[in-house]
Amino acid sequence: MMTRITIALAALAMALTAGAGQALAGDKDVAKVVSFGGSCARCELSGKKLTGARFMGANFNSSALVGSDLRGATFLGSNFQKADLTRADLRGAEMMGANFASAVFIRAQLDGIKAAGANFAGADLSNAQMTGAELPGANFAGAALSGANLSGAEMPASNLSKAEASRVNFAGAELNGANLGGGVFTKASFRNVSLDGANLTRGEFTWADFGGASLSRTQLAGANLEGARGLTQDQLDEACGDSSTELPKGLTVRACRGFAIHRRIVAPRPPTPPKAPAPPRWIIAGD
């Protein structure tokens, strides 16, 4: 008969193999489980303590992690498509090349995350906190970002095309070379934001705040900036647009024809997903 310690080690070994979440579905505190691999689609991990957990090449498609503590977690090359991370705490997490397409992050805490090349296309990040996030080349195409806080975020070459981003706070963020084309940014704050070489074509920026923003070689063709606050003629003289660009009364913008396009910023490639970690080996001794 095995000792209690041996039983505990065996249980931990099971948790570190593929399908770890299912093995721990009834456990409230799984903080000691540091590595997840394999597949755990539709797992129920809501409210779990997963601080510092490592998801390496794991598949957690459609899993539930509502309100889970994922501070400092690593999601390297992992798939969390359609996962529910509502109110989850992911502060300081690393998400290089991870897939969060159509995932839910409503009111989630994502301050200081590092997510170069991560995919958030179609995700719901309404009212999420993402201050100081590092998001170069991240994909937010078609994402819901209304009310989110992205102040101080680094987002060069990120894709925000057709995003619903009304009332988003981008104050002090870097959006050089980013694509905001066709997105809705009504009443968003772009105060002191660097938008050099960014694409704002056909975007909705009514009543947005551009105070102190840099618009060097920014493309505004077809963009609606009616009622935009803080926008000056000096800023627009550095940008370009067309006859369909709508501006506050008294302001003009030159045509993009023959206008030099800012050097395109190349988004980083996501890393190759790693192999799932091998199951640990334990020496089991009997009484």
What amino acid is encoded at 218 in this protein? T
Q: What is the pLDDT of residues 107-160, one digit of tens each?
A: 999 999 999 999 999 999 999 999 999 999 999 999 999 999 999 999 999 999
Residue 28 clears pLDDT 80, i.e. is over it = no
* Domain definitions of the chain by residue range: 110-268
Sign of the torsion formed by the C-alpha atoms of 45, 46, 47 and 49: positive
Q: What is the mean pLDDT of the chain?
A: 85
- What is the number of residues in the chain? 287
Name which of 119, 113, 135, 17 is nearest 78 in CA terms. 119
User: What pLDDT is stored for residue 258 in this prediction?
Assistant: 58
| pLDDT of the residue at 38 | 83
* CB contact at 8 A, 108 and 127: no
**Banded pLDDT at 19 (limits 50, 70, 90):** very low
Average of per-residue pLDDT across 254-269? 58
The beta strands (E) that lie in the chain are given as 35-36, 54-56, 74-76
Asked whether 191 and 172 are in contact (CB, 8 A), the reply is yes
Identify the band that residue 34 occupies on the pLDDT scale cut at 50, 70 and 90.
Answer: low
pTM exceeds cut of 0.85: no
Identify the pLDDT of residue 25: 38
Q: Is the pLDDT of residue 54 over 80?
A: yes
Is the CB of residue 156 less than 8 Å from the CB of residue 136?
yes
Q: Is the pLDDT of residue 193 over 70?
A: yes
d(CA 103, CA 66): 11
pLDDT at 10 over 70: no
